């Protein structure tokens, strides 16, 4: 019988039939658990918080590219005007 590493609840699975990398769910605390090894079976909780933080970082980086430091859209300068100024 396997136990949830988060809440110690029993997880009813056949230890001989689980595979490494398989995802199980705790019936009590609903934590998703990854089978990290099979002999003996070891379960590691999958943290949703870390995944969400990584996703938030990706979004923040994309937003930084679109906005200036004040949070405004950067003004695009017309390249033709710059070329004319340099010629004079």
Mind listing the pLDDT tens digit for each residue in 47-78?
765 445 555 555 555 555 566 666 666 666 55
**Number of domains observed in the structure of the chain:** 1
Whether the Cβ atoms of residue 14 and residue 24 lie closer than 8 Å to each other: no
Position 82 in a domain: no
On whether residue 40 sits in a domain, the answer given is yes
Residue 33 structural domain: 2-45
Indicate whether 51 belongs to any domain. no
- Quick: pLDDT tens for 7-32: 999 999 999 999 999 999 999 999 99
Q: Residue 8 sits in a domain of what CATH number?
A: 2.20.28.160
């Amino acid at each position: 019988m396997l136990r949830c590493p988060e809440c110690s609840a029993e997880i009813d699975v056949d230890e001989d039939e689980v595979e490494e990398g398989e995802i199980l769910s705790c019936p009590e605390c609903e934590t998703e658990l990854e089978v990290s090894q099979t002999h003996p079976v070891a379960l590691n909780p999958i943290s949703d918080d870390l995944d969400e933080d990584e996703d938030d970082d990706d979004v923040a980086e994309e937003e930084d590219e679109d906005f200036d430091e004040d949070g405004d859209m950067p003004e695009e300068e017309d390249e033709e005007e710059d070329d004319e100024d340099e010629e004079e």
